[in-house]
Amino acid sequence: MLCGGSGASVHLWDHRHPFTLGFGFNGAQRYSFVLRPSLARLQQRMKSSSSRSHCKTPGQTPVPHDCFRQGEADPELPVEGLSPVAGGIVALGKFDALHIGHRELAIQAARIGTPYLLSFVGMAEVLGWKPRAPIVAKCDRKRVLSSWSSCCGNVAPVEFEIEFGSVRHLNPQQFVEKLSRELRVSGVVAGENYRFGYKASGDSSELVRLCEEYGLSAYIIHSVMDKNQVCGTGEIQEDSKSKERGQVSSTRVRHALAAGDVSYVRELLGRPHRLISRVRVQDITSKGRRISLETSSLLNLPPGNGVYKACSLIVGDDEDHPVSCKVVVDSLNLHIETEEVRFRNSDGSQEFLLLGVEFG
């Protein structure tokens, strides 16, 4: 028996809290922390956090998804033979940036049932795309999704990953059949421009039709739009010719990061961009009130080269005591400066340290 009832429930949602964005946007709150921790305290935090840091760098073993909240109990495993997303509502899309458009999908899914994000992994390898740094570090995605819980009925959406190679050749009908009969979801949420199936041959209208055929609910929502029709870079101007002109997208976030416009990035993400480094303590160089890290230690995409003020540094898992800092990004290094405390290497340990930097 199929989950989700006998027919499709189709809705084109209007946002209850639409976002209107612009370069002159003044409503985004800025976080500025003025803290003066002692040197001994900071060094102790750096030492203790290095023993708990397990983020992945190329060539190393996998790590928990949450860089800064180690030690949490793993979610309960599903009953044997039952899909982890059985009975849930899955949001469909490419969730690289986890931006405000993605959050809106999760909000709508949570209004209907238990929310999940259906993500595909291995797409770049299968399609032969050039490797590129993620916008959100893989080990930081759970923290971001947890921050959405207040918008999702106090339930944090959970990601469910499918190997892209296993579904690449499915036509639209086969894909919906997989959702129904194998994953046993109750319903789906997708954006109005969503395409799926082999060579993106299916659109949102076909998704609704197929869900009705397989007894699933289908909820189609309007795209979250950005009033910046054209950003200030040539790349954005070229992209503006596409059908996604004005739509919040991961591509838009990448271009804004490349331009170094972290305020605009914050508007698109609905949060400050957090850059994460996993670095050996002995590889941190210090000079006065500045520490420097090689960009090779970064786990996700930094903003473009430049100087960024009003940033915050999170050492290890100490989320409650961010340190106010200024950050200088260049092609090879990330320099972190602070007036509150002098940074020094600890004991020269070989262990790794997690550092998070939030921009504006």
Q: What is the pLDDT of residue 318?
A: 83
pLDDT in tens, 66-124: 454 433 444 444 455 689 999 999 999 999 999 999 999 999 999 999 999 998 888 88
Q: How far apart are CA 253 and CA 134, in angstroms?
A: 11
Residues 95 and 215 both lie in one domain: yes
Say yes or no to pLDDT of 29 above 90: no
Residues 207 and 107 both lie in one domain: yes
Please report, for the domain that includes residue 168, its CATH number: 3.40.50.620
Q: What is the pLDDT of residue 350?
A: 53
pLDDT in tens, 141-182: 999 999 999 999 999 999 999 999 999 999 999 999 999 999
229 inside domain: no
Q: What is the pLDDT of residue 151?
A: 96
352 inside domain: yes
Say yes or no to pLDDT of 7 above 80: no
pLDDT band of residue 14 (cuts 50, 70, 90) is very low
In the three-class reduction of DSSP (H, G, I as helix; E, B as strand; rest coil), residue 92 is classed as: strand
Mean per-residue pLDDT of the chain:
78
| CB contact burial 212-222 (16+ within 10 A = b; e otherwise) | bebbbbbbbbb
23 inside domain: no
Say yes or no to pLDDT of 13 above 60: no
Residues 107 and 204 both lie in one domain: yes
- The domain boundary, picked from 196, 221, 246, lies at 221
124 inside domain: yes
Looking at 232-246, 315-329, 343-357, which range is the least confident one? Answer: 232-246
Q: How far apart are CA 73 and CA 62, in angstroms?
A: 18
52 inside domain: no
156 inside domain: yes
Tell me the one-letter amino acid at 344.
Answer: R
pLDDT in tens, 273-312: 999 999 988 888 888 889 999 999 999 999 999 999 999 9
Residues 101 and 211 both lie in one domain: yes
Say yes or no to pLDDT of 264 above 90: yes
Residues 279 and 217 both lie in one domain: no
Residues 281 and 189 both lie in one domain: no
Q: What is the pLDDT of residue 30?
A: 27
Q: What is the pLDDT of residue 288?
A: 84
Residues 212 and 281 both lie in one domain: no
Instruction: Write the CB contacts of 7 (distance below 8 Å, at least 6 apart in sequence).
Output: 212, 215
Q: What is the pLDDT of residue 32?
A: 25
Say yes or no to pLDDT of 9 above 50: no
Q: How far apart are CA 293 and CA 283, in angstroms?
A: 7
Q: Which residue has the higher pLDDT, 69 or 128?
A: 128
Residue 300 near residue 276 (C-beta atoms within 8 A) = yes
- pTM metric for this prediction: 0.76
Residues 288 and 192 both lie in one domain: no
When divided into structural domains, the chain yields a total of 2
114 inside domain: yes
Residues 293 and 182 both lie in one domain: no
- The domain boundary, picked from 155, 189, 221, lies at 221
Q: Give residue 337's domain range.
A: 273-359
296 inside domain: yes
Residues 289 and 215 both lie in one domain: no
Q: What is the 3-state secondary structure (H, E, C) of 97-134?
A: CCCHHHHHHHHHHHHHCCEEEEEEECHHHHHCCCCCCC
**What percent of the chain has pLDDT above 90?**
58
pLDDT band of residue 53 (cuts 50, 70, 90) is very low
Residues 290 and 217 both lie in one domain: no
Q: What is the pLDDT of residue 320?
A: 86
